[in-house]
Structure 1
Amino acid sequence: MSEIVVLRDGSGPEVLLVHGGAGPRTTWRAIAPLADRWTLAYVHRRGYPPSPPPHKRQDFAVDALDLAPLLIGRPHVVAHSYGALGTLIAAAAAPGSVRSLTLIEPPLNYLVPDDPEVARLERLGDKVLAQGMNTASTELREFLHLTGAPIDDGPPPEDVVAGVRRAHGGRPTSEARPQLDAIRDAGVPVLVASGDHAAAYERICDALADALSGERSVHPGAGHFVAAAPGFAERLETFLYKNVTGTGRTSPTR
């Protein structure tokens, strides 16, 4: 397969940034000033120029294969939404290659079984992936709102439509089962962050932090795009500095 593109900015220890359904610019714009002290490595997943398009569909398993060689230098890794699925698979396969993991609202719905709000989030996500712009209008708008798309009462903006079409046919998040115990047992320092905008995401993130014995952080104000929320960049940098040597997990805190 053609290699994906990673664009780097700054100097210092490397922080590998893995976006989800939105591109790197939208996802990580607010933390760009960290390049004064860190090398920010912006991953462009398949289908997001200048990386090549996917051969068949968006697929977190393919993302994991793409990410694996990028872990050789033991970077810190920060991953958002769908991008966190491939990140977790890659990290579980080689936990010693990850200095730390920051995970932002990943759609690991299976971690909270029998919760009606989490189950609805999963159904909506899988339906939009399967049906794209043919998804019923009310359900499409609900999902787009949950995932932070800038929509109002009018037609969805052109870039939002393009994003839905790019994701159409993608591998459902309900199929993701990363080996979390491999990451936990290796003592990888973990921070799980959420935006306090949807109860389902809060419950998923609570469960994920418990499963990984990780730290937990909540940053309201930017919806699903938590990296843009007030205080997130400072919290992330505190976590990175605490684990800059990658020698072991710190005590879990909220």
Structure 2
Amino acid sequence: MRHPFGGPRIAEIGAGPRLLLVHGSFARAEDTFVAQRELADTFRLVFVTRRGFHRDSERVDWEADAADLVELLDEPAHVVGHSYGGLGCLLASARVPERILSLTVIEPPAFSLLPEDPDVARLVTRLRAVFAEGGEPADVYADFVEAFGFPRPTRVRPHLVPALRASARERGPWEAVLPLGELRRAGFPKLVATGDWRSLSEPARSVGGVVFNRVADALAEAIAAERLTVEGAGHSPHQSSEIVNDRLRSRAASRGG
């Protein structure tokens, strides 16, 4: 199923309660959530490739993502958002809490929660520079990855080129103001997950690992969410761990679908 030009691209598999899977920057839903395909025995999986990521469109923005997700939530669903995609999921869940069976956000860049934190501020400054300088999408992507302490990538898989073009023009996540009160009052189960980043290089641990875990702690406390840290994982703990899938299955059971 495809939405009108500029909207998200949707792919579905499985049967059961709906589980919306929303990807982050420089990615696509099908690649981000490969490890979740096994959940098709429990859920009707809805892979949401965000607007602008499958063909050229307007600037990538979490507000537009939230509006698209509210439209997709025409019936109750579990919602999972990775990285930048988690921002739209948080906003949409606050707007239609009666349609949310559960919410899981994985390493969301909710940097606005800790504006005075020196490590968060330092990373935001780096990222502002990356997007201000612009340039070829592959170069923006390489600068972006390097800003988080990872080695600079030297090649990009061709099928991800549209995703790189989209994220190269995304709105900075540090601008997002999240509806913390509405989310805290919402009655659906909430989970904020990260990797512990301990298996990664020291630069990645001291930049990305520190910031994402500190932000996740602040978010979980602010919205009264369960906090999960997956040992041995980095920015995508759901890709290599059964723990996240087990939590999602338990959510389906506890909510009765």
Q: Which TM-score tier does this pair reach, normalised by the shorter chain?
A: 0.7 to 0.9
Q: Give 2:74's aligned residue.
A: 72
1:238 aligned onto 2:254: no
Q: Give 2:239's aligned residue.
A: 228
Q: Give 2:210's aligned residue.
A: 199
- Decide which of 55, 58, 82 is 2:60's aligned counterpart: 58
The alpha-carbon distance between structure 1 residues 140 and 88, as it changes in their structure 2 partners (threshold 3 A), is closer
> Which whole-Å CA distance do the structure 2 matches of 1:213 and 1:177 have between them?
17
Q: Greater CA deviation, 30-39 or 121-130? A: 121-130
Give the deviation of 1:97 after TM superposition. Answer: 1.7
Give the deviation of 1:165 after TM superposition. Answer: 3.3
The residue matched to 2:33 in structure 1 has which SS? helix
1:169 aligned onto 2:163: no
The alpha-carbon distance between structure 1 residues 189 and 91, as it changes in their structure 2 partners (threshold 3 A), is same
Question: Structure 2: which 5+ residue stretches go unaligned?
Answer: 198-208
The alpha-carbon distance between structure 1 residues 137 and 31, as it changes in their structure 2 partners (threshold 3 A), is closer
RMSD: 2.5
Check the 8 A contact 1:12/1:37 in 2, yes or no.
yes
Check the 8 A contact 2:123/2:148 in 1, yes or no.
no
Give the deviation of 1:173 after TM superposition. Answer: 0.8
Give the deviation of 1:158 after TM superposition. Answer: 4.4
> Which whole-Å CA distance do the structure 2 matches of 1:4 and 1:72 have between them?
15
Give the deviation of 1:133 after TM superposition. Answer: 4.6
1:24 aligned onto 2:35: no
The alpha-carbon distance between structure 1 residues 46 and 138, as it changes in their structure 2 partners (threshold 3 A), is closer
The alpha-carbon distance between structure 1 residues 154 and 79, as it changes in their structure 2 partners (threshold 3 A), is closer
The residue matched to 1:91 in structure 2 has which SS? helix
Aligned length: 237
Amino acid across the alignment from 1:166: A
The alpha-carbon distance between structure 1 residues 102 and 72, as it changes in their structure 2 partners (threshold 3 A), is same
Amino acid across the alignment from 1:60: W
Deviations 1:175-233 (A, max 9, x none): 10121211211222101100112011011111111111111111133421121132222
Q: Percent of counterpart pairs with the same letter?
A: 37
> Which whole-Å CA distance do the structure 1 matches of 2:62 and 2:152 have between them?
32
The alpha-carbon distance between structure 1 residues 132 and 227, as it changes in their structure 2 partners (threshold 3 A), is farther
Instruction: Give the TM-score of the pair, scaled to structure 2.
Output: 0.82
Check the 8 A contact 1:195/1:229 in 2, yes or no.
no
Question: Structure 1: which 5+ residue stretches go unaligned?
Answer: 147-151, 246-254
Amino acid across the alignment from 1:201: F
Check the 8 A contact 2:145/2:152 in 1, yes or no.
no
The alpha-carbon distance between structure 1 residues 139 and 226, as it changes in their structure 2 partners (threshold 3 A), is same
> Which whole-Å CA distance do the structure 2 matches of 1:206 and 1:31 have between them?
24
> Which whole-Å CA distance do the structure 2 matches of 1:9 and 1:137 have between them?
30
The alpha-carbon distance between structure 1 residues 244 and 215, as it changes in their structure 2 partners (threshold 3 A), is farther
> Which whole-Å CA distance do the structure 1 matches of 2:82 and 2:43 have between them?
19
Q: Give 1:38's aligned residue.
A: 43
The residue matched to 2:187 in structure 1 has which SS? coil
The alpha-carbon distance between structure 1 residues 154 and 200, as it changes in their structure 2 partners (threshold 3 A), is closer
Give the deviation of 1:114 after TM superposition. Answer: 2.1
